[in-house]
Structure 1
Amino acid sequence: MARKFFGTDGVRGKANTYPMTADMALKIGAAAGRYFRNDGSNGHRVVIGKDTRLSGYMFESALTAGLTSTGMNVLLLGPIPTPGVGLLTTSMRADLGIMISASHNPACDNGVKFFGPDGFKLSDEAEMEIEALLEGEIIPAQATNIGRAKRIDDGRFRYAERLKGTFPAGMRLDGLKVVVDCANGAGYKVAPEVLWELGATVIPVGTAPDGFNINEGCGSTAPRTAAETIVTHGADVGICLDGDADRVMILDEKGIVADGDQIMGLFASRWAEKDRLQGGTLVATVMSNLGLERFLNDKGLALLRTNVGDRYVVEAMRAGGYNLGGEQSGHIVMTDYATTGDGLLAGLQFLSAMVETGKRASELCRVFETVPQVLKNVRYEAGADPLSAGAVQAAISSAEASLVGKGRLLIRKSGTEPLIRVMAECVDDTLLGQVVDGIVAEVEAVAKISA
């Protein structure tokens, strides 16, 4: 059965445009409530967090109405990072956790992410069952069984204490000057607070949300402002979060960015040295650089690749008993500490490595040489299938043959937009360009014919 509403990370879209409307959010809340309150009792709970988008107020109210209409009791956390919702879902003994956020997307977008009672994101099967409920008539609770809503004022502080508890006992950040870019998002209060409480000199960026400026020229997808701030203030390191603070980019003392692959490579090698890396394996997606795989293999470690999406990384980690995984985009998942990607947690782990080794950020940010990588997107008419065309298949086969022993090719459809993503890696820059451009040209030609 094909998904109609849920993508790779919940439901997402432009606010006030289907399916991200208040009416739809109410129905989603009611469907989720009916799915989890399936025994008629009144003790079921759901926690709801959000980032700083203006539309968050609308969706928070609509979801609350839908959930309480089916007898669920709602605990409202207000602005809090996505990993905080995962944490509090379990610590508050809730049946369901909901995060209202479109992550790194612009302010006009929003989304709804779901966590199960174990703090992990809902499975595909559970989401499909909620979709099925959405398609039918949702039976409301009796008037005497309508749920209650309550605002929780200390959720951020509970999350902060958990974060500090993951930092090595007795270690402090005294003497470190840290730029933290919160993307005007969910981490705008908690991230500077935690770093300051651990002893760092904190230079905050992106901590003045107005409902519209989330991810705007700041955060993990736009680290230039943080880089300039590092150089201006002579900072030792930068931590760039995204809008819901579940991903991170680390910047060294020169403002140079290290992506998720470099961070995962560092953590994997350090954890392996301490016999902490379960199964000697790092879990990452098909997008992670070939250089990371070679780096790990040289150390006798394995890289297990999954489909794109941190939920698929986590599923593979749980299935195999692994404790470290993530994405090139900066989702770093450490199941010893958290149930989902946590940008600030990853930042703290990096800072602890700086303190423990006495090395500068630049010495830790680049643990392997990346293999040149090119990614291009081709938009096509919704409903078309350019990848099935003979000319495109021939171009892909030819490219794969030319890359044998030199690199790799990845062609996939986006899970959220009508885009074909063409990615290749190769030690030969000239061949790399030829391979990608050749496939892109064929896909574009077919897409124009289909349109």
Structure 2
Amino acid sequence: MARIFGTDGVRGLANADLTAELALDLSVSAAHVLAERGAFAGHRPLAVVGRDTRISGQFLEAAVVAGLASAGVDVLLLGELPTPGVAHLTGALGADLGVMLSASHNAMPDNGIKFLSRGGLKLDDVIEDAIEARLEEPWERPVGGDVGRVTPHPTAIDEYVAHLVATVGHLAPAAGRPALKVVVDCAHGAASVAGPRALRDAGLDVVAICAEPDGLNINDGCGSTHLEVLQKAVVEHGADVGFALDGDADRCLAVDAGGNVVDGDQILAILALSLREQGLLVDDTVVATVMSNLGFVQALTAAGVVVRQTAVGDRYVLEDMKAGGYSLGGEQSGHVIMSAHATTGDGVLTALQVVHRMVATGSSIADLAAVMTRLPQVLVNVGGVDRTRTDDVALLAAVAEAESELGESGRVLLRPSGTEPLVRVMVEAATAEQADAVANRLADVVRERLALG
């Protein structure tokens, strides 16, 4: 049987792969596993449950709540709230378990279940495996007063927004200057209320777009996967900066006043230098992934900041940050984790921190992002190959030859897919033409040497 949990919880087509029955059973199993591991020792267990704006979140929420309450867990209903909001309130409310219903940046028909442990931390693989193993086991059901109580928590957005604003205070502009104008694309998602409110409460002039969720339009042609909507709005409104969130608002990308994209690497570089100036960048180190642009690594290294690189995925960034006690990490896709304020990526927090840096320095985001130069990056997906044989001698020789050709101004990365007969060939170079030529040449070698059958 294939593993139910993926790299970010359980995800699939709602009411097909991810059914109400599965959601209920997973919630019961999670309650039992955490109880057995002492998470509920000596007290009545409490869980918080939030969701994004997908219509399927309504029936999945009902199933999750039914499962938890039937297992004797009290539940606070947070309603529509970003994933980082659920993580924050899991800790702030002293809950033993947090549950977020979201498929993040995926299209509306999908949905997902993310479980968070005490403090708002993602579950590790061992606990997820234990939850799967308990799915089919019989259990003794509590009765009478031992079943869980279900209570709405109507102040969830207020509490989360207050937490966000407290990280920056009031972002007052220099004397005689108007408040910065910010456009925020909420992707018709979970931050449609919390995102604009937090930015306004911090003293910014806010234009909110794609903030009218109807249950069906989440991520639909907007948000961090469709930046053209934000680019156009920033220019039309004469805004200083724009931010694009995804459906559950755990990631953030930006656009400067001219409509140019500022990606996750550039945002991470801006925040790394900001924290270092404040003496808050632990060990002068930032955690990124192997997909971070070489220009990012070069710029921060030149500035005296150590860049640690992990496998692709925010969970791996988080694991490395926790192990080393680091204060900042993130991905090119816009997941930025600031451990002093959050246990997961938080798109609204990221936007606030970037604007804080703009106000503190009097600089535009374009000027701040110019600390690094993005090298042209080409990614070629080669399908129909044996992904287990990337150690082929001839392929390694071709990679070595390419690396010699690129020198210090480029790099090569081969990434076998974890699930498909696919190898990803990524090349960075001084020019787009060179990156494209080298990537396609290596892709041809992969097809020839690793062909199936």
Q: TM-score by structure 2 length?
A: 0.92
* Equivalent position SS for 1:227: helix
Aligned residue in 2 for 1:189: 193
Aligned residue in 2 for 1:253: 257
CA RMSD of superposed structures (Å) = 2.2
Q: How far apart are 1:255 and its partner, in Å? A: 1.2
Alpha-carbon distance in structure 2 between the residues aligned to 1:256 and 1:279: 32
Aligned residue in 1 for 2:366: 362
State how 1:333-348 maps to structure 2 within 5 Å.
333-348=337-352
Gapped runs of 5+ residues in structure 1? none
Alpha-carbon distance in structure 1 between the residues aligned to 2:393 and 2:311: 21
Alpha-carbon distance in structure 1 between the residues aligned to 2:105 and 2:418: 16
Alpha-carbon distance in structure 1 between the residues aligned to 2:21 and 2:164: 36
Change (3 A) 1:149 1:388: same
Q: Contact conserved, 2:395 with 2:446, CA < 8 A, in 1? A: no
Aligned residue in 1 for 2:400: 400
* Equivalent position SS for 2:296: helix
Q: How far apart are 1:194 and its partner, in Å? A: 1.4
Change (3 A) 1:418 1:189: farther
Question: 1:293-335 deviations in whole A, cap 9, x for unaligned?
Answer: 1111111111000111111111111111110000000001000
Number of residue pairs matched by the alignment: 442
* Equivalent position SS for 2:267: helix
Match status 1:87 vs 2:85: no
Aligned residue in 1 for 2:8: 9
Aligned residue in 1 for 2:35: 37
Q: How far apart are 1:443 and its partner, in Å? A: 4.5
Alpha-carbon distance in structure 2 between the residues aligned to 1:140 and 1:376: 52
Q: Contact conserved, 1:183 with 1:215, CA < 8 A, in 2? A: yes
State how 1:58-207 maps to structure 2 within 5 Å.
58-134=59-135, 136-144=136-144, 145-167=146-168, 169-172=169-172, 175-207=179-211
Q: How far apart are 1:386 and its partner, in Å? A: 3.5
Alpha-carbon distance in structure 1 between the residues aligned to 2:337 and 2:142: 41
Q: Write the letter of the residue equivalent to 2:370.
A: R
| Greater mean deviation of Cα atoms: 289-298 or 401-410 | 401-410
* Equivalent position SS for 1:403: helix
Gapped runs of 5+ residues in structure 2? none
Q: Contact conserved, 2:243 with 2:255, CA < 8 A, in 1? A: yes
Q: Write the letter of the residue equivalent to 1:279.
A: D
Q: Contact conserved, 2:91 with 2:119, CA < 8 A, in 1? A: yes
Q: How far apart are 1:413 and its partner, in Å? A: 3.5
Q: Write the letter of the residue equivalent to 2:25.
A: K
Q: Contact conserved, 1:70 with 1:139, CA < 8 A, in 2? A: no
Q: Write the letter of the residue equivalent to 1:13.
A: G
Aligned residue in 2 for 1:437: 440
Q: Write the letter of the residue equivalent to 1:441.
A: D
How high is the sequence identity, in percent, across the aligned residues?
44
Aligned residue in 2 for 1:22: 20
Question: 1:72-121 deviations in whole A, cap 9, x for unaligned?
Answer: 11211111011111111111111111111111111011111121102111
State how 1:302-451 maps to structure 2 within 5 Å.
302-380=306-384, 385-388=386-389, 394-404=394-404, 405-406=407-408, 407-415=410-418, 419-444=422-447, 449-450=452-453
Aligned residue in 1 for 2:223: 219
Q: TM-score by structure 1 length?
A: 0.92
Change (3 A) 1:27 1:418: farther
Question: 1:11-69 deviations in whole A, cap 9, x for unaligned?
Answer: 11111222x11111111111111112336876101111110011111211111122222
Q: How far apart are 1:439 and its partner, in Å? A: 3.6
Change (3 A) 1:64 1:415: farther
Q: How far apart are 1:426 and its partner, in Å? A: 2.2
Q: Write the letter of the residue equivalent to 1:421.
A: R
Q: How far apart are 1:415 and its partner, in Å? A: 4.7
Q: Contact conserved, 1:180 with 1:239, CA < 8 A, in 2? A: yes
Alpha-carbon distance in structure 2 between the residues aligned to 1:250 and 1:140: 51
